[in-house]
Amino acid sequence: MPNTLLFIRRGATVAGLALAATLMAHAQGASVEGKTAEQVYKNIQVLRGIPAEQLNDAMHVIRGDLGVSCEFCHVETDRSLDTMAPKQTARRMMVMMMNLNKTQFDGRQEVTCYTCHRGYPIPRTKFDYPTTSDEQDEEAKVALPSVDQILAKYVEALGGEQAIRKVTTRVITGTQYLPTTPGGVVPVPATIERDQKAPNMLVNIYHAPTYMISDGFDGANVWSQDMRGRVTESLHSDQVRAKRDADFYLPLDLKQQYAKMEVESIDRVNGRDAYVVVGSLQGELPDRLYFDTETGLLLRKQTLLPSPVGDYPFEVDYGDYRDAGSGVKFPYLITMYPAVPGVRTNTPSTSATIRVTKVQENVPLDNAKFAKPETKAAAAQ
């Protein structure tokens, strides 16, 4: 089974990671690679020193944590201006948050904007504490299967290890609305072709009405090419995650990918019960994998991604599994929340759905197709 089942940015997937970087660079109209926020943007006072490519993510995390629009703090025509009072307040709050984490939590990012705001511009002073019903108590007593049992059922549900290993390449075509503008709030219709080859190579090509972009993993490096032909590589942390997620046989190798895996609970995903398996990663935030309790198929993967102002979730839901012709099931419906990491709202404008229209397996694919391309001369000028 290909890595698409567990393939998320920055994220998520190489597509999520590289696509977000491609779109962000396009929106800024200039390279931010290797630069700090204050070197690219005007009037940066608190988040000085962070990589410039992380600033938009941080702003959209704050936006989601407070449940507001960007214009709550910023003048729409010039966001560097300090004329909005909430912007001054936000700066003071960020300094307070950073000081708390530094002095009370040894620098760990335990306190975030969401700690107090929880989706409201003014922090809530009263919280509703959940009560445990008898039904929930009974559910807690249900014996959960082991990690090995869940993973074995997942592989069997996909078609079994023997059938999975017989597939060595996959060409996937489909449709997707590409998220554009900072925050991914303006969707643009596009077609997508994703080519994958064992053991860990892939390339995604997106055709929008007026431009084409692409990204990929050549077995060593994550790369992306924007509409002007400019080619960039992802940050080191993204490279590490992409290398892990690009495993063509990832469903067979899941236990080797994580330092530790534990069955946490049963949760609901799109109206279905799912076992929640927590995968711990060395030096990274844990992943949560949701497996259907009846079918055994993967329904969701949630990854927590760090930003300068707090961790935020990035989810990928999988559905409409079908036999693509080799006896191996593949998800024909893949939905990402949010469409671009950094947007903490699950509205239609901040989700992206890939609808697969065709899957071809064991198609001859030359390794050169996955190689990092050269930046076009016109883009380098």
Token pair, residue 293, equals: 């309790």
- H-only helix segments in 77-122: 85-104, 113-117
Q: Which domains does the chain show, CATH number per domain?
A: 3-25+144-380 (2.50.20.10), 38-117 (1.10.468.10)
For residue 372, the 8-state DSSP code is P
pLDDT band at 348 (very low <50, low <70, confident <90, very high): very low
- DSSP for 221-283 reads -EEEE-TT--EEE--HHHHHHHHHHT-TTHHHHHHHHSSEEEEEEEEEETTEEEEEEEEEETT
CA–CA gap between residue 328 and residue 164 (Å, rounded): 6
CA–CA gap between residue 11 and residue 287 (Å, rounded): 12
CA–CA gap between residue 314 and residue 173 (Å, rounded): 23
Q: In sequence order, what are the residues at sequence separation of 6 or more whose Cβ sits closer than 8 angstroms to the Cβ of residue 361?
A: 167, 169, 170, 171, 324, 325, 326, 328
pLDDT band at 378 (very low <50, low <70, confident <90, very high): low
Q: According to the model, what pLDDT value does residue 18 have?
A: 36
Identify each DSSP E strand in 103-209 by its residue range.
169-180, 186-197, 201-207
pLDDT tens-digit series, residues 26-43: 434 446 667 888 888 888
141: pLDDT strictly greater than 70: no
pLDDT band at 3 (very low <50, low <70, confident <90, very high): very low
347: pLDDT strictly greater than 70: no
Asked if 229 contacts 251 with a C-beta cutoff of 8 angstroms, the reply is: no
Q: According to the model, what pLDDT value does residue 239 have?
A: 67
More confident position, 344 or 264: 264
C-alpha dihedral, 280 to 161 to 328 to 218, nearest 10°: 60
Asked if 203 contacts 368 with a C-beta cutoff of 8 angstroms, the reply is: no
Q: According to the model, what pLDDT value does residue 365 have?
A: 96
With residues binned 3-state (H G I as helix, E B as strand, rest as coil), the percentages for the chain, rounded to 5, are 30, 30, 40
pLDDT band at 157 (very low <50, low <70, confident <90, very high): very high
Radius of gyration of the chain (CA): 21
For residue 303, the 8-state DSSP code is E
Asked if 50 contacts 308 with a C-beta cutoff of 8 angstroms, the reply is: yes
What are the φ and ψ backbone dihedral angles of 366, each rounded to 5 degrees? -75, 140
Asked if 179 contacts 335 with a C-beta cutoff of 8 angstroms, the reply is: no
271: pLDDT strictly greater than 70: yes
pLDDT band at 142 (very low <50, low <70, confident <90, very high): low
Mean pLDDT of 9-19: 36
Q: According to the model, what pLDDT value does residue 340 have?
A: 54
Which residues in 331-343 are b (16+ Cβ under 10 Å) and which e?
bbebbbbbbbbbb
Which residues in 210-234 are b (16+ Cβ under 10 Å) and which e?
eeebbbbbbeeebbbbbbebbbbeb
The DSSP element (H or E) to which 60 belongs, if any, is helix 55-66
More confident position, 118 or 270: 270
pLDDT tens-digit series, residues 327-343: 999 999 999 887 655 44
Mean pLDDT of 62-70: 77
